[in-house]
Structure 1
C-alpha cells in the first residue's frame, strides 16, 4: 500500500514538472509568435519596415507591424519620406490596439517624454533653448521644441512687432518662462534674452561713452525734431539742427530708418541716461575757413534762402549765408525784395565784407549782375531779370571753375619747382 502511494506521488511530481516545461515552452512560442502584451503609454523600440505618405510601419516584435500615422510622427506636418527610411530605429508610444488587432503608435508622444525632461532642466537652470517658428497664431507664434511651444507677441522683441509672419520658419533662441508637464504647455520668450543682452550692453555703454568721440549707429526712429540712433546700449538723439551746417527742412531729407551712420557724441547725461548726437560736427564748420575760401571783391554763385523787408539772405554753401541789403540788390530803387528775387533762386553775388568775429558776410547783387527795373511795380515781375540772373550765375560758375583749375595748376607747378 505504501509502495503504491509512493509511486502515485512520484507520478504526480513528474506530471507537474512536465506541465511546467510545457508552459515554459508555450511562453517561448508566444514570444516567438509575437504574442506580447502592449498597453497604452508603453514606449517601445522598433525598426522601420515600410514608409508611405500616410503612415510608417514598424517591426516591434509583434504578430503584426506597429502603425505610426503620419500625423503622429511629429508636432508639425511632416513628409514621412523626409523624416524616416526603411531600417531606421524609432521610439514610439503605444496609443491603442485597433479593431483589426494592430498596435497604433505615436512617435511625437515618445519624443515629448524625451524632450520634456530636457526642457524642465533648461527651465530650472535658466538655460537658452533653440526652436524653429512653425506657425503664426492669434496672439503670438508657435515653435517646435520637440513639442509645441507658444511665444506671446509681447515676448518676441523688446519693442512692438508689426508683422509676425516675418518670423515664420526662422530658428531663434528663447528662454522658457512657463512649463507645465501635465498640461504639455511650454511658454517661451525671446524678449527676455534680448533684454538681458541689452542690459549688458547698457552697462558697458555708460561706462565707456565719452563726449567728443565718433560712434557707429543705426537710425531707429524719425520725428519732426530729429532722429533716434541706436549706438549700442542707448538710443541717442540726433537733433535736426545737428544734421548739417545748413538748414535741414526735415530729418528724412538726411537719414532714413535702418541707415547705419557715423555720429559725433555731442553731450552725455549719465544721470538722465541721455546722449545728444551730431552729424555736422563730423565735417568742418564752413565759418572757420570762410575768409580764406571767399575773397572780398570776388563774385561767387549763391542761392536765395529767404527774403526780408531789408534784403535777402543768400547761401554761398550749406551753413554759410550772407546778407544782400535791399540797397545792394539793384542799381535802381527796389521797393519790395520779392519783386526781383525769390527763395530758391540761384544768383551771383559779390562779397563786400567778411566779419569772422560776428560771423557776418555782406553781399551785393547789383555789383555781380545788372538787373533791369520791372516796367510796372503793380504788374508781376518781368521774366527778363530772372533770365539775366540765370546767365550771370552760369558765367560765375564757369569763372570760379577756371579759377580753381588755375589755382590747382599753380600749386602743382610750385610744388614741382620746390622738388
Structure 2
C-alpha cells in the first residue's frame, strides 16, 4: 500500500518543482522509497525527479494516454512508500477539447488516481486573497480531494500570519510557509529549467531545498495527508511500438528530450538500444537497424555539431540503407541549415531540406495529433500519433514531401507537418502514444 499526493498550484512559476524535489529528497533521507511522476508533457522535470529519488520518473498525460496506459505506468509505484506527482501549469489548466482520457490537466490525474492535491500558493502581493484563491481551487471541480497548502515566498512573519488566519477561516490546512530563499532557485532557459544532467551541483541544490523545507514544512502532516493507494498489477504499456529491433539513439546534452516511458516501452517490447553522442562526433552503431534523434538544445551546440564531420558522414552512410527519424531538435539537425539566436547560420546533416532559424523567436507550443502520410520507424502510413510540440524555431524553408497531416488539440490544422526524403523523416512534435 502506497500513499499518493499531487503537487499543484494556481499557475506556473509558483514553486511546484522545488517543493516536489525537496519533499522527495527529504522523505528519501528518512528511509522511505519515493516514486515521482510528472503530470503533463514536460520532458525536463522527470530527470530532476530521478536525481532526487534515485528512481526513474515518467510522464502521465490524460490528453495523449488512455487510462490503461496511465495505470500501467503508475504501477511502478507498487513498491514505493510515497508517490509524489508534480503537476503542470495550474491545477485545472488543460486544452479545450478532451483527448483520450482527459484534457491534460493535472486535475485529471488527481481524479483518476484519487490522489489528494497539495497546493503551492505564492501569496506575494496579497494576504487574505490567497485564501480565496485556495478555496476556489478546492471547490472548483467535484471529485478532487484536497490535502492543504504550502505557502511559498512569504515576505515576513506578519504576512504569514495574515495568510494563515484566512486559510484557517476557510477550513484549509497549512503544512508550512517558506520564506524567500534564492540559493535554491533552479537555473532556467527558454524551454524551462536547465536540464538536470547539465547541472554539476544538482545534488547540492536538492539537498539544500530538502533542508530548507524540513525547517519550514511539517513533513509528517504532509505524509499523513496523502491518500492510501493500491496500484494495479504491472501490465505492458500499450500503443508504443519500437521503431526497430536494434535502435541507435542519440543521447547527450544536445539530444535528451525523449519521454522515459518511450524508451522503457521499447525495451519492454524486446528492442535493444545503443546510444551515441553527436556532440562527441560519434555516429550511430553500424549494427543497429534504425536511428532516432530526439529533441534537445541543438541550437546551443550548433557550431560544434556543424564541425563534427565524422558524425555527419556516419549518419549519411547509415541513412543510405536504414531509416533515420528526428524529433524537434533532432529534426532540425537532419536539415541543411540551423541559424542560432545570434543570426549565425550553421550547416547541419543535410539529409532533409529543412532550414530553421532562432534569430526571430516564435513559440510553438501544444498537443499534436498527426495522421501519417508515409511511414516512420515503428508506424505505417495512416497511423495516428499523439504528441507535444514546444520550441522557438522558425521554418525558413521546407522543400521536402510533408510527412503527416497535423492538428492541434482543437482540431485546427498545423503548418509544421514534418517532412520526409527517402528513408529519412522528421517531425516537430515529440511522440507520446499512438492514437487507437
Q: TM-score, normalised by structure 2?
A: 0.17
Name the one with the larger strand percent. 1
- Which has more radius of gyration? 1
